[in-house]
Structure 1
């Protein structure tokens, strides 16, 4: 861990600043939209725009990097991010904000692809798992820290839009001054969706449902908080609690996943997440909402890693990296539809529709995991691969790096098993 920090501290610092800027602008738009009088459904369209752009950027960025190089792509997209953040308060219009969210999602995705490729290039087979863990920690700390910045100025003014613009601009300095340009990376040929579904129906259905649950949390939580009558301080604490829960449960659940049937764990985690969302429906007090956010965030975020690890259990090591493209595509489709569906339900049911949507998605995943347990036997625990830690906001580079780490772990386990045989 110390070795990774020494070699990549500047890169990780820059990535954390990027996450602070991204986390702040997402929450701020939800609050500012309420101030501007945008309807719930208008805000759902605005918020879904980010995930549409993010999906497009994750697919286009590798080709952009191959054509003009990492540094140029990183600098160009970063400049666009800073400009768009400044433009939001000058054009208070849902259509303009939607266009801005699509563009900023595309740019952030490209920036993450570039930075993650540098991080992956700096890691060795021995340190890749540690690098991924640090990267996940940096992402979560950045988003949690962003919620505190929401309190430093009036959301109806310009200052809170200037802050993420400045943070994103500053983030380029430690990254661009410390890293060496890397060769354009080669992407693994992806497994098509039909093949992927044949390998693991549960993983395919699960990542699609989780895409909707995650985008509802990331995109609509501030809209919900504003409509539920929470103060700015309460909205900040409420959103941060989702990610505190994700950090708290990520590694304990990963430890459990290497010691039991992952389908059973997926079912149990989904059920706890469903119960957390029901708490949000039934107990509208601020502290009740914190409990709900802690368990929903704590269960839904690690589920993504559990589902990828579950899919790996039915693959040979050489096939593992090929699932990342299909998983990300399904997750992206779910993420695009998540805010739209949440906005529609909140329009019909009121603010509680936020929790209803998440509860339904996690309940469906719970029941589908239970069904899949009846369709084929679980692999033996000793034959399953290592838990693959990755956040739902990761790009193809981080997911493939996680898969490479899983491949290394699987091959190392096979070698140890062969050596132990007489």
Structure 2
């Protein structure tokens, strides 16, 4: 019989983890809300899609900087103080967007929001990684994944009925960042030590798992562009109710990803993961082409279905790419490799919105999904080419799939794939 004291300790551990998960869900709700508040405000102000794309890229630049600086900051002041620091920064920057319409000011504020979000995720995810019982880390990661996605889906609905450019939209985003402090401040447990997750260098990553590098980079370009700029596409699709439509469109994309993540991973445990990535990219690419060409002429229900299919493919293959890289990692290297793959993704996410904004400025909002389709089809061809040229990892060397999040370096320590790595034959790298 398990002693009562042990049961209480385990309940306390799960309560501690749940508090941080809720805090990060509120953070994701804030990022989801700003994804429609920002672009729709800029449209109302008359900004071009090129400018909007550049501003979106500044968010990604801030995210990269935040991901690099956050671990050192957490080591100096601890998880709770760091979380409070970054939450306050995000809240102030979100409110600051309302103060000026100047492009340079918006780029600065968006960069600060990106930096704050990266810091919040690094603080929270490293905390979860330290607090989650090792035997239940996969279950905790799955719970966090679903809760995080739900938060990102809910955020746009909270701002859906606010007039573009009004103070209320920015206050909602600011309030969500501030609200994330409540569960963190209320926890009674001590802070865990910060896990170490120094990334591989790009050349080492490329030599070990080039297919994963390609997939992560294109995921950053394509998904970064769509998730930052989809509100512009929806605004032309339904000008009279753009915010509500954007929230529903976002929910369809994220919902598709939630439904497909685990099935795609299970399939990739049994066949070459590069084939699974190619299949996901191809399906998503077809949906993107249909959205680009026919969205204005299709019933809204069909548009949402296509958005769900796009999300099911494009927002799911990053986790398969991380699993592919982990299969080829040597003993004890998976955590560092996963962190390096994340930085490749983040680099792509800086480039994607700016490129897509330029394309949309020249060819209209529908070209966002044509831009995405081209990237996805290039990825599919690259994966098939890599498969022909190099052998897949033997089944006994494969690790079991676990969902991976493109969030922060600390997420690598949370993922069960980083534990107990087996030696990989890098001579068959793909």
TM-score by length of 2: 0.90
Contact 1:261 1:381 in 2 (8 A): no
1:292 and 1:369, CA in 2 relative to 1: closer, same or farther beyond 3 A? same
- Give, in whole Å, the separation in 2 of the partners of 1:292 and 1:341: 23
| 1:317–1:407 Cα contact (<8 Å) kept | no
Question: Which of 19, 22, 26 is matched with 1:13 structurally?
Answer: 22
Q: CA deviation at 1:49?
A: 1.0
Among residues 261, 268, 291, which one is paired with 1:257 in the alignment?
A: 268
Name the structure 1 match of 2:61.
52
Match of 1:386 in 2: 400
Deviation at 1:380, TM superposition (A): 2.6
Q: Distance in 2 between matches of 1:188 and 1:14?
A: 22
Q: Match of 2:280? A: 269
> Could you say which residue in structure 2 is the equivalent of 1:239?
250
Residue equivalent to 2:358: 344
The CA distance in 2 between the partners of 1:33 and 1:189, in whole Å, is 37
> Structure 1 stretch 145-154 or stretch 55-64: which is displaced more?
145-154
Deviation at 1:63, TM superposition (A): 0.7
Contact 2:221–2:349, Cα closer than 8 Å, also in 1: yes
Instruction: Give the distance between the partners of 2:160 and 2:112, measured in 1 at CA.
Output: 26
Partner residue of 1:104? 113
Query: 1 CA distance for matches of 2:192 and 2:246?
Result: 43
Structure 2 match to 1:419: none
User: What TM-score results when the alignment is normalised by the length of structure 1?
Assistant: 0.92
Q: Choose which of 141, 158, 166 in structure 2 pairs with 1:132.
A: 141
| Structure 2 SS opposite 1:126 | helix
**Matched residues in 1 for 2:340 and 2:257: separation?**
24
Pick from 309, 314, 317: which aligns with 1:303? 317
Cα drift, residue 288 of structure 1: 3.9
Give the CA deviation at 1:110: 0.7
CA contact (8 A) 2:195 2:413 kept: no
Shift of 1:154: 2.1
Q: Could you give the per-residue CA deviations for residues 64-98 of structure 1, whole angstroms, max 9, x where no partner exists?
A: 11122222222122112111212212212222111
Note the alpha carbon deviations across 1:225-280, whole angstroms, 9 max, x for none. 22344423222211221101111111111111112111111111111111111111
State the secondary structure of the residue aligned to 2:388: coil
Pairing partner for 1:75 from 71, 84, 87: 84
What is the aligned partner in structure 1 of residue 412 from structure 2?
399
Tell me if structure 2 keeps the 8 A contact 1:266–1:366. yes
Matched, 1:318 2:312: no
Paired residues of 1:58 and 1:395 also in contact (CA < 8 A): yes
C-alpha distance in 2, partners of 1:309/1:88? 38
Alpha-carbon distance, 1:391 to partner: 2.1
3-state secondary structure, aligned to 2:211 = helix
Distance 1:105 1:372 in 2: 34
Worse overlay, 142-151 or 362-371 = 142-151
Using the TM superposition, give the Cα deviation of residue 5 of structure 1 relative to its aligned residue in structure 2, in angstroms.
4.8
Q: Deviations over 1:4-46 (max 9, x none)?
A: 7544222222211111112101211111111111111111111
1:369 aligns with 2:383: yes
CA RMSD of aligned residues (A): 1.8
Structure 1 CA distance, aligned partners of 2:43 and 2:285?
28
**Structure 1 unaligned regions, length at least 5:** 412-422
Name the residue aligned to 1:415.
none
Report how far residue 410 of structure 1 moved.
5.1
Alpha-carbon shift at residue 409 of structure 1 (Å): 6.0
Query: Does residue 160 in structure 1 map to residue 165 in structure 2?
Result: no
Q: Does the 8 Å contact 1:43/1:223 carry over to 2?
A: no
Which one of 64, 74, 99 corresponds to residue 90 of structure 1? 99
Q: Secondary structure at the match of 2:134?
A: coil
Give 1:183 deviation, angstroms: 4.8
